[in-house]
Chain A
Amino acid sequence: MTRLLRYVLSNYRFSFVAVAVCIAVTACTTLASNLFIRTLIDDYIVPLTKVDNPEYDSLAKTLLVLGLILTFGAACSYAYNRIMINVSQGTMLRLRRDMFGHMQSLPIRYFDTHSHGEIMSAYTNDVDTLRQMISQSLPQALNSVITIVATLCSMIVMSPWLTMVSLCLAGVMAFSTTKLGRVSRRHFVQQQKDLATLNGYIEEMVSGQKVVKVFCHEEKAVEDFERLNENLRGSAHNANRVANIVMPVNGNLGNLGYVLLAVVGAAISIGGYAELSLGTLIAFLTLNKSFTQPISQVSQQINSIITAAAGAERIFNILDEPSETDNGKVTLVNADVQADGSLAEVEHRTGVWAWKRAETDGDPILTKVEGGVDFNMVDFSYDGVRLVLEDIVLKAMPEQKIAFVGGTGAGKTTITNLINRFYDIQDGKVLYDGISINDISKPHLRRSLGMVLQETHLFTGTVLDNIRYGRLDATDEECIAAAQLVNAHDFIRRLSDGYNTMLSGDGGNLSQGERQLLAIARAAVADPPVLILDEATSSIDTRTEVIVQRGMDSLMKGRTTFVIAHRLSTVRNADCIIVLEKGHVIERGSHDELLALGGKYYHLFTGDGL
């Protein structure tokens, strides 16, 4: 909670001071208008009734002054509301940007362990409850407190005795409100629980709705649903029932207090126990109202503040997640081969890249990017307990094609995720052109690796935008050339707006094969020295499959390629096939060598059961 306030304040310190001042002024003017009735009755009406020729000049003057004060109050009220909008919306903007920005820096591991729904909920539900709190609850609470204090002061000045009665009443009110609040919170917690249960049930059943249909399970599904639904109805009723009576209880306690004060006040006034004028009593009664109202308001804000605090905690949890670490110093630069065969760094793309290692003294060292990758006794574990990869040794020479085969859980995808450092290895070393990948700056490392993932993700935007995702400064011509290279040009041309066709919802309007072609074109425009391809397992129709295959083939030319293979053709012409099982390399070699070996690969290829 304090952290949230600090977060809000850090950017809007001045605004907050301004808001506090404005609220104080507003509260005082409201108080002034309430107090005015006493002045009106005691100083004007009562004396005026006693004279024969009433003179209204001074009343007019007083009213004019009052009018000015009140107008000023209204201006302040607008001012603080307007400033609060900037503060709350500005904070929301900053919070969203911070969250999103920080999220970009989180390791892949984070996204493995948190569901999309969970992450999304922070952006929608939690940010929204915060907005409500910052823009409504906070100023209202502030206003209430100032009003209470200011009113209390003037009440004491008017009549200490009556103030005591008033305070007792306020105590009763605060007590009943907190009591009711506690009960109601308990019911609200139950309601949230029931809602979550129902939510889970709906989610499971609706996602399996087609199965429900083919098994004619509808009646049973409704039956279970109704039970959970009834539970939720019950708890929702309980929660609201208690919350709903807070208002009438407080309102009428206020009324009872009014009577009590009137009786006591009148008794004092008539009995002459203390100095108490008629106007004072009436003004006091009005004041009492503005004293008790904020008390119930504050107590009602507590609920929303508690919810917001929970939301803030979830948001800060995201912001506190440690970012991906990157200690790499080696960077990727464009290079040109000089006449003497040495490398020189240049600004423009030359098709030649170099690793640049800055030396503390002297010129940076440039090493040509060849695309050789070595795994040296690499161990890896997702959870730090169970090894997923163990003692992996492999060597990919520049421009070689390495194919990984093996069952689910064998560790194929994991190996490729280690090369681009989506995950960091536990033990051993991965060398890229002889440089440890831990020494290469992550963005530069990844920029040198082209990835085509098994599951294609496209972004909202045009086809051209999606291809350009591979390299932001690519011209339209370069993007089209990339599409032509990987056989995507033909289908794109047939789309309604060609390259300017808008894609939305992860390219939902394209077929699986077309989406994959776009993903390949995206990698092609990036034109990286090393490629990592994960072949799609979801079957696409035979013809598209051949086209996709050719697209991949033309992309692989002249590059070191790691491919997680599902197709015979890919495996067959690989320079080296790595057969993985349970995190170990069990066989390696070319297609012919492995066939001759007669081991696991042979059995797979010939289709014999294992």
Chain B
Amino acid sequence: MIKTLAKHIGRYKWASVLTPVFTSLEVVMEVLIPYVTALLIDRGINASHMQNIYTYGAIMIGMALLSLCFGIIAGRMASYASSGFAANLRNAMYRNIQRFAFSDIDKYSTSGLVTRLTTDVTNLQNAFQQILRVTVRAPFRMVSSIAMCFLIDDRLSLIFVVALLILSVVLFVIIRKVSVIFSKVFKQYDALNGAVQENVVGMRVVKAFVREEFEKEKFGRAAYLLYKLNVKAESLMALNHPVMNLVTYGCIIALSWWGAHFVVGGTLTTGELTSLFTYVMSILMSLMMLSMIFVMLTRSAASGQRVAEVINEQPDIVNPANPKTSIASGDVEFQNVSFAYREGSGDYALSDVSLKISSGETIGIIGGTGSGKSSVVSLVSRLYDTSKGSVLVGGEDVRNYDLTALRNSVAVVLQKNTLFSGTILDNLRWGNPDATPEQCRQACEIACAHEFIIEMPQGYDTQIEQGGTNVSGGQRQRLCIARALLKNPQVLVLDDSTSACDTSTDARIQRAFREQLPGVTKLIIAQRISSVRDCDRIVVMDSGKVVGYDTHENLLQSNEIYKEICAIQTSEGGDFDFNRKKNSAAKPAEEKGGGQK
């Protein structure tokens, strides 16, 4: 983990190295100042020597100014290095996320990735800054203070050494115990937040079943457990204070006793004794800082782990060594393909699928949820890799193509469509950044999107909100189809992409495909028989297997499952839903109040 993270310090390496250097210089000054103070007291004040006071005063001022400069430089560098380090981490993560294959994306949740990119990185940034500023400073200050003490009087310094030993042992024991409890605290925190999240999301269920009191009790128990753990951890931590205090006071008393003897005995000056008092404080403060840093580091270690995990994630799909960049034709072929979403789980979403589709054909795919329809089409543009067998596009295994070239030729309209904030034109140009307005209009006409776009006040310049919330489901689907068409693909895959469009629009889109895109291979997944009836051939899927591959008429004759689906849809279990048939009536108020999102 540390190795991974450290790699990303990158061009902020110099600042990262120089920060401790300047901090050390600052510390040197800080440590020397009490020494000069001692001289000022002994040779100036005690000797009533004004000249000496001026001399040492000037030296002290010079040192303070130097220390100030070093401090400011170190502070700037620390912030430069740490903010740069954080930016690098975010960048590295984000870049790697862009390399993620679909299977990798499935593994992380969106909110999880967002937290890692923001909160976790901020934690690390703070930790890194503290490391640069304090981890060097505290031990260095401690060591040099001790050195100074020995320089002044080695007999008295032994007091510090003893104190230090006692303190280190106690702090070490406390920290060890506390970190065990803290890890429990974090777990309980997650559990508590999980409970709140669950409650907020399922609020309608809670209210419908009048379970408010039950939920309160459940939450109260979890919160109380967290309270208990926290009190336990912090009580242990609080032991730091009296231990520190007692040791410090012990030092002061011991120092006073023997110090007095030595001064009286003439082996120590008053000034030196004062400096020793200062040093004892600074040593103990450093130790306190160290223990605080340690606790903070244990806290940020979890964040570090989570960040490193994303950075180190090896994408499941990478470009081949010598990729082919041109796709010969829109032929698609499946050769004995088996596929599992989780490698080696044996949980096959597809088993032994073989299909041959020629350029320009329109193929419908139908079957129940979980029958493998989406899996079939996601293999064509190599969103996932097959477990067994191979998928060929244009007569070549998809694994031999350059990913960009392949995906530009095989346009996929995903089931879960997303539009991005920006104008309609911006969104369309995702398909082709150089598309002219004319080309965009053509694509929209084929996708039956032009008709509603021109009715919007700003037409193609209408601003789409994040997630495309200001257009209806059917409109969103049609825009997504247009966006895919702009790629000028050789294979077009529609994964249940007209489900929110009414039947007549659906039919018009299909007609436009036939007439205007005769050379493009079209794979159309649908729930409704009516959407696939006119396809050249229809693939019927059931439990990951192809159980039929023929025309509508022939399937009606020979295929039991197809017959059953037809029967259900036309008689009893079919969709009877205005939502699917009529999309233009979408009202935001209903979505707000009615959708249990």
In angstroms, Cα B242 to Cα A75, docked, is 6
From known contacts A100-B199, A240-B82, A262-B44, infer whether A198 and B64 are also in contact, taking CB-CB under 8 Å: no
Known: A97-B219, A405-B578. A216 touches B408 (CB 8 A): yes
* Set of chain A residues within 8 Å of B564, measured between Cβ atoms: 542
Contact at A111–B203, with CB atoms within 8 Å?
yes
On whether the beta carbons of A541 and B503 are closer than 8 Å, the reply is: no
Does A206 lie within 8 Å of B97, measured CB to CB? yes
Segment of B86-94, B160-168, B448-456 in the binding face: B86-94
With both beta carbons as reference points, the residue of chain A lying nearest to B50 in the complex is identified as A270
Q: Which residue of B lies closest to A37 (CB)?
A: B277
Q: Which chain A residues lie closer than 8 Å to B195 at the CB level?
A: 460
Interface 1/0 per residue, A83-123 and B, CB below 8 Å: 00110011011001100110111001001110011011001
Minimum CB–CB distance from A71 to chain B (whole Å) comes to 7
Report if A543 contacts B (CB, 8 A): yes
Interface: A539 (CB within 8 A): yes
Shortest beta-carbon distance from A402 to chain B in Å: 15
Is the Cβ of B82 less than 8 Å from the Cβ of A111?
Answer: no
Residue pair B253, A63 in contact (C-beta under 8 Å) = yes
- Tell me how far the C-beta of B155 lies from the nearest C-beta in chain A, rounded to whole angstroms: 17
Among B101, B227, B403, B530, the residue within 8 A (CB) of A90 is B227
Are B420 and A208 in contact, with the CB atoms below 8 A? yes
Select the stretch in B339-347, B515-523, B582-590 that faces chain A: B582-590
Q: What are the interface flags for A396-433 relative to B under an 8 Å C-beta threshold, 1 for contact and 0 otherwise?
A: 00000000011111111110010010110000000000
**Residue B457 is within 8 A (CB to CB) of chain A in the complex:** no
B residues contacting the other copy or chain, number (CB 8 A): 171
A206-B97, A472-B211 given; 15 more Cβ-contact pairs under 8 Å: A103-B200, A207-B418, A212-B98, A213-B101, A221-B98, A244-B74, A249-B68, A256-B64, A262-B53, A282-B274, A414-B594, A506-B202, A541-B369, A542-B368, A607-B530
Main secondary structure on chain A at its contact with chain B?
Answer: helix
* A262 touches which of B45, B68, B211 (Cβ 8 Å): B45
Pair B596/A407 contact, Cβ less than 8 Å: no
Find the A residue at minimum CB distance from B81. A237
Interface stretch of the complex, out of A148-156, A162-170, A227-235, A371-379:
A227-235
Which B235-279 residues have C-beta < 8 A from chain A?
235, 238-239, 241-242, 245-246, 249, 252-253, 256-257, 259-261, 263-264, 266, 270, 273-274, 277
Contact yes or no, A255 B67, CB < 8 A: yes
- Cα–Cα, bound, A396→B238 (Å): 66
Whether the pair A610, B200 counts as a contact (CB closer than 8 A) is no
* Chain A residue, CB-CB nearest to B95: A222
Which stretch from A343-351, A381-389, A483-491 is at the chain B interface?
Answer: A381-389
Contact indicator A206/B110 (Cβ below 8 Å): yes
Cβ distance B523 to chain A, nearest Cβ, rounded Å? 14
Query: What are 13 A-B interface contacts by the 8 Å CB criterion?
Result: A45-B260, A75-B242, A104-B213, A210-B418, A214-B412, A241-B80, A244-B75, A251-B67, A408-B591, A451-B204, A549-B573, A568-B573, A604-B578
Q: What is the CB-to-nearest-CB distance from A270 to chain B, in angstroms, rounded to a whole number?
A: 5
Query: Considering the chains assembled together, what is the distance between the CA atoms of A74 and B253 in angstroms?
Result: 14
Asked if residues A199 and B503 are in contact (CB atoms below 8 Å), the reply is no
Query: Per DSSP, are chain B's interface residues mostly helix, strand or loop, or mixed?
Result: helix
Q: Which residues of A contact B472 (CB under 8 A)?
A: 408
Q: Is the CB of A85 within 8 A of B231?
A: yes
A245-B75, A537-B579, A604-B578 are known contacts. Are A409 and B264 too (CB-CB below 8 A)?
Answer: no
Give CA–CA (A410, B199) in the complex, Å: 28
- Asked if B530 and A81 sit within 8 Å, CB to CB, the answer is no
B332-369 at interface with A (beta carbon < 8 Å)? 368-369
Given known contacts A92-B227, A96-B223, A407-B582, A210 and B416 CB-to-CB distance under 8 angstroms? yes
CB of A293, distance to nearest CB on chain B (Å): 11
Quick one: which of A49, A85, A215 has the most chain B CB within 10 A?
A: A215
Query: Separation in Å of the B304 CB from the closest CB of chain A?
Result: 18
Q: Is B407 engaged at the interface, CB distance under 8 Å to the other chain?
A: yes
Query: A541 vs B366: C-alpha distance in the bound complex, in angstroms?
Result: 11
Whole-angstrom CA separation of A117 from B370 in the bound complex: 31
A77 touches B245 (CB 8 A): yes
Interface hit among B112-120, B389-397, B438-446: B112-120
A370 CB to nearest B CB, Å: 21
Given contacts A209-B105, A236-B83, contact A604 B208 (CB under 8 A): no
**A239 CA to B502 CA, complexed, in Å:** 54
Which residue of the partner chain, among B53, B421, B502, contacts A263 with CB atoms under 8 Å?
A: B53
Complex CA distance for A75 and B249, rounded to whole angstroms: 12
Of the stretches A2-10, A12-20, A54-62, the one at the interface is: A54-62
Tell me if A259 is interfacial: C-beta within 8 Å of chain B.
yes
Contacts of B206 in A (CB 8 A): 104
Q: Does A302 contact B (CB under 8 A)?
A: no
Indicate whether A82 reaches chain B with its CB closer than 8 angstroms: yes
A233 in contact with B68 given A262-B40, A266-B50 (CB within 8 Å): no
Known A-B contacts A71-B246, A75-B242, A210-B414; the reply to A204 vs B208 at CB < 8 A is no
